[in-house]
Amino acid sequence: MNELAAAVLAAGELICEFQHGFKRSVIADLVGAPRNTDLMLVYEALAPESAQVVSSERPGRHEVRVRASATGVHLIEPAGESVRVTTLTGCEKWKWKHGEQTCARFAARYAWHFDTRALRDPDRALAAQPSGTSIGRCEPWKID
């Protein structure tokens, strides 16, 4: 298990927010206004192979497969013949907790793939994501 995967599992639960990469507000960009959150996800019961997710886009809890790889930690939700994937790519912010450094914010990407190759090769699926992929961050539900 790599350092990023260990940090994700240590969090136990994550709350994530994403902005859809294809949505732009020219006026907001010109004045430097923060972008709206388009999607919120809460990951619960994070374990080395599985988790559950609650999404602002649809009701109920959904099963997720957890895959750690060279490019990140992939939280993959099967959806019929497609998958929704949140990839945690690194730690953006560290803090001290009980005398140890702990990740307090993970950089993340979210994409809906209309095939299931992310289940077989999540690194390749991440590399194939388009430029309009949703960008965001995930934080441990309980930081302190």
Are residues 43 and 13 in contact, defined by beta-carbon separation less than 8 angstroms? yes
User: Which is it for the CA torsion 108, 92, 138, 76, positive or negative?
Assistant: positive
Mean pLDDT, residues 16-39 = 73
Q: If DSSP codes are grouped into helix, strand and coil, which group holds residue 38?
A: coil
Q: What are phi and psi of 118, to 5 degrees?
A: -60, -25
Number of structural domains, the chain?
A: 1
CATH code, domain carrying 80? 2.40.128
Rg (CA), the chain: 15
Range of the domain at 81: 3-140
Direct distance between the N- and C-terminal alpha carbons of the chain, in angstroms, rounded to an integer? 24
pLDDT over threshold 70, residue 21: no
Mean pLDDT, residues 56-70 = 94
Residue 33: the pLDDT is 65
Q: What percent of the chain has pLDDT over 90?
A: 61
